[in-house]
A and B are shown apart, each in its own frame.
Chain A
C-alpha cells in the first residue's frame, strides 16, 4: 500500500508543493490570521457531503472522533489546495489537466442528451447523407450441388449439370452434402466466403444468373451452381432500416456535438506552433481562418 502511494504522481505533487510552501514561508514570513486573512467557511451542505462520503466508505455513521478527523482533514486539504492554487501549482499538471478536460467534454455530451428525438425528415436526410453507413454489400441467392474432390469426376459432373439444366432434381445423394444447404437465400459475399472458403464468393460474380453452371471450386470441393440473384452493392432503402438509421443518428449526433463544441471553443484561440517537427498537415488544420 505505502509503496504504491509513494509512486502516485498526486503524492509527488503534494510533497513537492509542501516543500515549496515551506521554503516560501521561510523566505517570506507573514503575519498569520491578520485582518486581511482569507475565510474558509464550512457550511452545512459541505459538512453533510463529507459525512455522506465517509459513510459510503465505512458503512456506518461517523462517531464524534471520526467527525473531528473528517473536519481536520477537510480543513487541511482546503488550506493546501488554496495555497497551491495561489502558487499556480495547478498549471501544467497532467492529472489536473486531464481531469478538467474530461469534465468539460462530459458537459458537451450532456448537452447532446438534452436533444429532441429526431424527426422523420432528419433521419431521411441523415440516411441520404451517409451512404457509407447504410450500403449493403454485394449478395447472392443461389442453389448449389457439392462434389467432394474425390467424387468430382468430369463425367459425373457433366451428367448432373446437363440434367439440372433441363429441369432435373438435385440427386438425392447430393442433398445436404457436408451439411451444406442446397438453397441459399440472399447472403452477403463475405459471409459466403466464410461458409464455403477457397475463393467461392469471388467466383460467383462471374456466373450467369438463371442458368446452372460450374463447376466452381471452394474450400470444400466442386460445386454446380444456379445463381438466382446477383445483387450489387446498394444503399439499403430507408424504410427497411429505419431503426438502424435512428440508432446511428443518435450515435453520430453525440459525436458531432462534441466535435462541434470543440471547434467552437477552438475558434476562441489562436494556435501557434513554435515547436519544430510538427507535420504541415497539422499546422494547416489548426491555422486560424
Chain B
C-alpha cells in the first residue's frame, strides 16, 4: 500500500540518537568497528510479520519494515496498542512463512489480483477472535498439517510469491546499517507432517539470495530442503538452516531414521551437519532443553516446558523431543558413523506472530505474541492458543546472542555457522566458555582472560582436541537491568558402553555457597509478590572459574555446555495479575529462574 501506516513514526529519540552519534550517512561494512576479542550481539532470529498468513489472519498488519523499526526501539502500533521494547536489538532476521507468501501479496496489496476475492476479504475483515480462528484453522492449520490443497482460491501463483519475497528483501536491505544494526535475509520453511513439527528457518549470508524461497509445498521432507539448499550452495550462495520446536516434533527431530524411513547413515548425517549448525533452544511455545519427566535429576529442568502442548495434535512429550537428548544421540551417531548429524549450537527466538522481534521482557508482555489470540490479559488468563497450547503456558520468548567481531551480516552469520553463540530465556546476560589447557585461575582483566581463552583453547561451538582432561574456562556476567547471578553449571553428556549419559556439575556459585562435595546451598532470594521486584542484593554480578572434567576418558565421546542461572524474577503472569487484575489458575507459575545456555564444546574420538 502506498499510504503510510496509521501512526507517525514513534521513538524518534532513539532513532535520532543513533543518527547523531555518527551514523548519519549509510555506513559500509568496511567502516563498522571491529573487536578481535568479539562482542556479544543480541538479536532475533525468528519472527513473523503480517506477511505470514497465519499472523495476518490473527490480526497482524505489520510489515517487515515495521518489524525492523520495532527492533530499533521505535514504538509501533501492535494489535491496536502502542508498544515498544526497552532495549533496541543489534540484529534481526525476519522469518516469514514461505508457504503463503503469495497469498500475503494479494491480502496486503490493494488492487493486486486476488485482493477482492471473498476469502481474502474475509481474512482482512475478520472482526473477532472466533472468526479469525475459524479462518486460521481452515486455511492455515489444516493445509499445514498436510490435509488438503495448500493454497486458498485467491492465490495468484509463483509470481506473487516472488513479489512478496522481493518486498521482504527490500525492507531487509533498507534497514541494514553495518556497525549499528544488522538485518539478515531469511524465511521459514514450515513442514509438519502428521502434526510432527519439522520447521526450519533459513538464513542467507549476504544479498546473494534466490528469487523465490523453497517452501514445504515444494517439499515437505527436510532432505528435500537440504537438497535445494545444496543447489543454492552450488550456485555460490551461502545458506544454513535452524530447526525449532523440537518439543513439538513427536520425536522426529532427533530420530533413528529419515522421514522416509531410511535408517540414518553417513550421507544423511554429513548433509544434516553441514546444513544445520544451530538449533533453537527456546521460544514462545516452550523451552526444548529438557523436561523433568525424563531428567528427574536436573533440579532446574522445570522451566517454561509448555506442557499443555501435549493436549493438541497428539504431541505427547517423548525424551527424543529434547535438545539434551539430541546432543547425546548425536555423539552416539558420531561413535557409530564417524559423523554427528546433531552437532547443534544454541540460539533462542520468539516465533512472535505480532511482527515484534525479541519482545521478550516478562514485565512488558502487554500485547502478547499471537495477535487476537493473546492480545489482552483477560484473554491470556482464560484462553487457548488454538491447536497449540494454553496461553498461560506461553512465554514471551528467548533471545540469541552471537559473539562476533563486528555488527555486520558477514561477521554475525559466520559466528552463527561457527556456533559461537548462546541463547538466553530473555535477559541480556553474557557467557563465554573456552576449552583447553593451562588457563589461569584468575586474570588481571577481562581482555586478558579472553585473549588467553582464544590462545589456549577453543570457544563455545568448537571441538576440544587435547589429550588430557579438558579445562573449561567459564565466565558470565549479569544483565545490567536484571538481578545478579546464582550459579554456572556445566552439563556434560557422554556415550559409554552403548549408553547415552549426562550429568550436571555446579562449577561456580555466588558467595560461598558451592560446597566441597559439589552441591550448592540454595540462594534464598524470593521475589516480592506484591510488586514483582527481584532481590537486588544477593547473588554476584559476575562469575568466573576454571573447571577440569574429573571423569575424563579420552576414548569416550562427550559434549559440554554451560548453563547460567540468575536469581528468581517475576513471570509475565504475575505482572498481568498485579496490573490488569486478572487471575490465573493456582498451578500457573508466577516466578521463574531465567537462564542462558552456551553452545556446546565437543570431544570427538574419531
Contacts and interface: CB of A to CB of B under 8 A. Distances in A.
B484 to A, nearest CB: 9
A233 to B, nearest CB: 9
Contacts of B13: 135-137, 188, 190
B502 interface: no
B110 A106 contact: yes
Interface stretch (B444-452, B491-499, B586-594): B444-452
A80 B478 CA distance: 69
A148 interface: yes
A188 B134 CA distance: 47
Interface stretch (A160-168, A193-201, A262-270): A193-201
Contact of A136 (B20, B119, B444, B477): B20
Choose among B114, B444, B541 the residue with the greatest number of A CB atoms under 10 Å from its CB. B541
A176 B86 contact: no
A243 interface: yes
Nearest to A137: B13
Contact of A188 (B17, B479, B481): B17
Contact of A241 (B14, B20, B125, B153): B20
A197 B121 contact: no
B271 interface: no
Contact of B480 (A110, A113, A195): A195
A109 interface: yes
Interface stretch (B2-10, B179-187, B321-329, B570-578): B2-10
B: contact size bracket: 35 or more
Interface stretch (A21-29, A53-61, A204-212): A53-61
A18 interface: no
B19 interface: yes
Contacts of A102: 110
B445 A177 contact: yes
Task: Identify whether the interface residues of A are mostly helix, strand, loop, or mixed.
Answer: helix
B20 A194 contact: no
Contacts of B17: 136-137, 139, 188, 191
A109 B3 contact: yes
A195 B9 CA distance: 25
B20 A236 contact: yes
A86 B570 CA distance: 63
A109 B16 contact: no
Given A4-B119, A10-B118, A178-B541, A197 B3 contact: no
A177 B443 CA distance: 11
Nearest to A53: B113
A133 B478 CA distance: 35
B24 interface: yes
B480 A4 contact: no
B162 to A, nearest CB: 15
A248 B11 CA distance: 13
A219 B8 CA distance: 34
Contacts of B478: 219-220
A74 interface: no
A65 interface: no
A258 B125 CA distance: 23
Interface in B84-112: 86-87, 110
Contacts of B110: 102, 106
Contacts of A178: 446, 477, 541-542
B456 interface: no
Interface string A231-256: 00000100011011000100110110
A: contact size bracket: 35 or more
Contact of B12 (A11, A133, A150): A133
A113 B2 CA distance: 9
Interface string B3-47: 110001100111111011100100000000000000000000000
B355 to A, nearest CB: 19
A59 B157 contact: yes
Nearest to B155: A57
A216 B237 CA distance: 51
Nearest to B111: A106
Contacts of A196: 480
Interface stretch (A39-47, A179-187, A273-281): A179-187
Contacts of A136: 13, 16-17, 20
B200 interface: no
Nearest to A5: B118
Contact of A251 (B9, B122, B481): B9
A72 interface: no
A175 interface: yes
A194 B86 contact: yes
A17 interface: no
A211 B153 CA distance: 71
Contacts of B430: 179
B316 interface: no
B13 to A, nearest CB: 5
A173 B121 CA distance: 65
Contact of B481 (A133, A148, A194, A243): A194
Interface string B239-257: 0000000000000000000
A148 B9 contact: no
A172 interface: yes
A244 B16 contact: yes
Nearest to A254: B4
A221 B3 contact: no
Interface string B530-555: 00000010001110000000000000
Nearest to B39: A179
Contact of B446 (A10, A134, A179, A254): A179
Interface of B: 2-4, 8-9, 12-17, 19-21, 24, 86-87, 110, 113-114, 118-119, 121-122, 125, 131, 134-135, 138, 153, 156-157, 430, 444-447, 477-482, 536, 540-542
21 contacts: A4-B119, A7-B134, A8-B118, A135-B13, A136-B17, A136-B20, A137-B17, A139-B17, A172-B445, A176-B446, A178-B446, A178-B542, A179-B446, A191-B17, A194-B86, A194-B87, A197-B480, A219-B481, A219-B541, A236-B16, A251-B4
Interface of A: 1, 4-5, 7-8, 10-11, 53, 56-57, 59, 95, 98, 102, 105-106, 109-110, 113, 133-137, 139, 148-150, 172-173, 175-179, 185-188, 190-191, 193-198, 218-221, 236, 240-241, 243-244, 248, 251-252, 254-255, 258
Given A176-B445, A254-B4, 11 more contacts: A53-B113, A133-B12, A136-B16, A139-B17, A176-B446, A177-B445, A178-B446, A198-B480, A240-B20, A251-B4, A255-B8
